[in-house]
Chains A and B, each alone.
Chain A
């Protein structure tokens, strides 16, 4: 074996963020998930011990302590409590005091915005080398979900930030209500996979399968294309008519995040940058997961495909801007859906 064959292996421990509105079934879902033998070496960080008791040997309670940086925005805050708790787990793991840590699950409070958790893990000088957020799970209650989405901007943000959405309590919701909610969730975040969990029952292996945040194959909408809008939340999928210049895309996107970051709820996609494989882009508001440059494409379709979920930014504005930057990017944007030949995974 030559030196060149030595592969860089990601040894960071996966972190799953479980978010969802108050009473949406986060803890019930967690209790179900933790009962699986395969999840035995999972540590759990919770903000509060709720009515549903969690019985797990690696359960820790953290008090949400947020450090708001001077002139900072809400999503770029550091959760000091998480820094402390995660470092403590890391210490215990490295000293051999606990069995090898396979995964950490962080349960947020109902009103929490998941972005600061991602910010904390990706910017802490120690944590960024030992942990990586692989999945954001959002629970939505089939009975009250629609009401929460109507009344609370946080609820929409949680759905937009999700890689997977679990609709709970479908057993007690009217079938029509549940169907309406499912279609609405798909409209807010077409890139998220939606699971239904009646009585907290869900396929754990499928739910935790690593096709989340660090995913190589972002799921894109089955009927991609037409810009969707839900109130002032929009989503649009875009491809390009050729390979794009990654540096130019970085300029455009960092400029957009600086000017309108709080309105960019989510971005997810694969970008053809003219190399052997695509770049995986995944961001929640100002927080961009470290982009990964893949060695090869995950499937036959070698076109860029990127989905934007925005608030107050109309898809036309994004497309016009990408068009104007087309010369720098080296390719023109094409909204997905106007070209039906694009196959989606």
Chain B
């Protein structure tokens, strides 16, 4: 999976998604599959919350879509279905009309102000 072009060739875990799978593997073959699913859902929900803190500054919002994908929406009702963080940013750039850049001083100020206020 290329983080730049966001193409999904085969079902492949993005590097940011691997830890849940690794944790399940580390706990051995006898591990509880229900616990794994719970861990995975918790992780996805947490990711959506944190990502929305950033996307807010671009007028976007992401939601978990039945535990398999995420839906990215803008305020005009346009949406994009995305697989992971690798495909999120190119989709966000498309909807927002500019590439979200963590080095952008305006974004940094907005994030800092959001937490100070």
Binding site for B on A (CB under 8 A): 2-6, 8, 69-73, 76, 119, 123, 125, 128, 245-248, 250-252, 254-261, 279, 286, 288-293, 295, 313, 317-318, 320-321, 323-325, 327-328
SS class of chain A's interface: helix, strand, loop or mixed? helix
Question: Is A247's CB under 8 angstroms from B2's CB?
Answer: no
Question: Is B3's CB under 8 angstroms from A258's CB?
Answer: yes
Question: Is A76's CB under 8 angstroms from B4's CB?
Answer: yes
Complex alpha-carbon distance, A239 and B110, angstroms: 24
Least CB distance, A251 to chain B, in whole angstroms: 6
* Chain B residue contacts of A3, Cβ below 8 A: 28-30
* Chain B residue contacts of A5, Cβ below 8 A: 28
Complex alpha-carbon distance, A5 and B51, angstroms: 36
Complex alpha-carbon distance, A323 and B26, angstroms: 33
Residue from the list A72, A76, A123 in contact with B12, Cβ < 8 A: A123
Q: Which B residues between 1 and 35 are near A, CB-CB below 8 angstroms?
A: 1-5, 7, 9-10, 12, 14-16, 18-19, 22-23, 25-30
Residue pairs across A and B with Cβ atoms less than 8 A apart, 10 shown, are A3-B29, A3-B30, A5-B28, A252-B102, A256-B102, A259-B102, A288-B15, A292-B22, A313-B103, A320-B108
Question: Is B15's CB under 8 angstroms from A328's CB?
Answer: no
Question: Is A317's CB under 8 angstroms from B103's CB?
Answer: yes
Most chain B beta carbons < 10 A, residue from A71, A119, A279? A71
Nearest CB in chain B to that of A259: its residue: B101
Question: Is B50's CB under 8 angstroms from A248's CB?
Answer: yes
* Chain A residue contacts of B46, Cβ below 8 A: 247
Known interface pairs A125-B10, A327-B115. Does A71 touch B5 (Cβ–Cβ under 8 Å)? yes
